[in-house]
Amino acid sequence: MPIKTLSQLSKPLLKMASHSPVYYQAQARTTRVLAKLPDRLLVTLVNRLDPQPRFASADPLMQLIMAANNLGSGSGIITSNIKSSRQRFNHSVNALQGAKPAVHSVRDLSFKNRHKQRIKLRHYVPQLDRTATTQAAAELPLIVFFHGGGFALGNIETHDEFCHYLCHYAGFSVLSVDYRLSPEHAAPAAIHDCMDAVVWAADNVKKLGYKAGKIIVAGDSAGGNLATVVCQQLLKTDHAVRPIMQWLIYPATDAKGQYDSHKAYGAGTLLSLRDKDLFQSFYTSDSQDTDHTVTSPIYGTLDGLPPAYVAVAELDILSDEGEAYAQRLADNGITTAYDKAPGMPHGFINLVSIHPGARRQTIAMIKAMRKFYDQTLGSKVH
């Protein structure tokens, strides 16, 4: 296939535009074809799309994905038209999902939050080793997972693939929460939904089949923010529910601070500084909550928080604030593990079916989080 034709094929790659699901499915198919090309051809395509050399730590395929995503001026992940932004995001991310690792079962549930509004859930149960007994299975914890999307985008469908990976490679059940989104529901609405989901899970041990008192909260990006904020906020309540661990994947932790990674990766990757600012403005729009720690957990009280595994992506505007938060946790005596995925941009856990490196990094991260649990809490199930 001539280079010119490949270049033409790659131009719409991952580009956010108002198109049908078929359009995004074609993008994903194109990327899978390009992934089979030798690096020298991918480098040629990258140079044609973006003559300015940057992000050398990314492999040629990831450079191509980022370059194609930033063709022209672009509209970013999110615009002032929230309905259109959600449609584009959902179509594009859903089209990227491929074959999913095996789990024992998946079922949709729901519960009513503190305002009597129904919140959807999705429960994933892992396949256990044949030597594992029923009693051993009941000793496993539950991961309550909060999806990313800047508090304004995403749902349990956009992160269905990742939850399969999380369930399969961690070996724990996963409960994915479809919390309310901004700007229609400003902070702390999402926090309340996520807190209520954790409390509901604690009250429904038998239905979910995990050991009472063993809840791990997890999330990516905005979901990582929600996971650690939930831990902070639950400490302020009369609830006896206390997560035993937090797994934070490139979390947003500081809505006010400025970091070197904001400048280094604020343009040209998969999440821009403009996106971050617009997400934040939506999240805090019309908010009646004046406690800035609900949006910036790095300024919150960290005493009493559970052990944390913090994973960031190298080519991500959030990388420095994620690292800073991990350091703050460690400085406050919280058992903390920190890892950085080299050559990966924000959102790499949603690229597992089109980028082999993203898949390897995602699997390695999940296994490392499981190892951290085993070593920290001493509850490894053989």
pLDDT tens digits, one per residue of 81-118: 999 999 999 999 999 999 999 999 999 999 999 999 99
Residue 331 is among the residues annotated as catalytic for this protein:
no
Pairing mode of beta strands 105-112, 118-125:
antiparallel
- Asked if the model's pLDDT at residue 18 lies above 70, the reply is no
User: Is the CA virtual torsion 83, 84, 89, 91 positive or negative?
Assistant: positive
pTM: 0.92
The confidence band for 381, taking pLDDT boundaries of 50, 70 and 90, is: very low
**pLDDT given at position 13:** 42
- Asked if the model's pLDDT at residue 312 lies above 80, the reply is yes
Of 316, 320, 353, 355, the active-site residue reads: 316
* Tens digit of each residue's pLDDT (9 = 90 or more) over 199-242: 999 999 999 999 999 999 999 999 999 999 999 999 999 889 99
How many other C-beta atoms lie within 10 A of the C-beta of residue 32? 14
**pLDDT given at position 294:** 87
- Asked if the model's pLDDT at residue 244 lies above 50, the reply is yes
Tell me the three state secondary structure of residue 86.
Answer: helix
* Tens digit of each residue's pLDDT (9 = 90 or more) over 32-54: 998 999 999 999 999 988 877 68
pLDDT, average across residues 119-132: 85
The confidence band for 128, taking pLDDT boundaries of 50, 70 and 90, is: confident
Residue 104 is among the residues annotated as catalytic for this protein:
no
- Asked if the model's pLDDT at residue 15 lies above 70, the reply is no
Cα-based angle 248, 78, 162 (whole degrees, multiple of 5): 35
pLDDT, average across residues 155-183: 98
Residue 160 is among the residues annotated as catalytic for this protein:
no
**pLDDT given at position 130:** 59
Of 123, 185, 192, 346, the active-site residue reads: 346
| Higher per-residue pLDDT: 182 or 133 | 182
Of 92, 221, 272, 296, the active-site residue reads: 221
Could you tell me the domains of the chain? 3-74 (no CATH), 99-377 (3.40.50.1820)
Alpha-carbon gap, residue 346 to 339, rounded angstroms = 14
* Tens digit of each residue's pLDDT (9 = 90 or more) over 283-307: 998 655 556 888 999 999 999 999 9
Nearest partner of 223 among 314, 318, 336, 126, judged by Cα:
318
Q: Which residues are within 8 A (CB) of 378 and not within 5 positions of it... i.e. 6 or more apart?
A: none
- Asked if the model's pLDDT at residue 8 lies above 60, the reply is no
Tell me the three state secondary structure of residue 142.
Answer: strand
pLDDT, average across residues 150-172: 98
**pLDDT given at position 95:** 93
**pLDDT given at position 71:** 77
**pLDDT given at position 49:** 87
Pairing mode of beta strands 245-249, 215-220:
parallel
Q: Are 194 and 119 in contact (CB under 8 A)?
A: no
- Asked if the model's pLDDT at residue 74 lies above 90, the reply is no
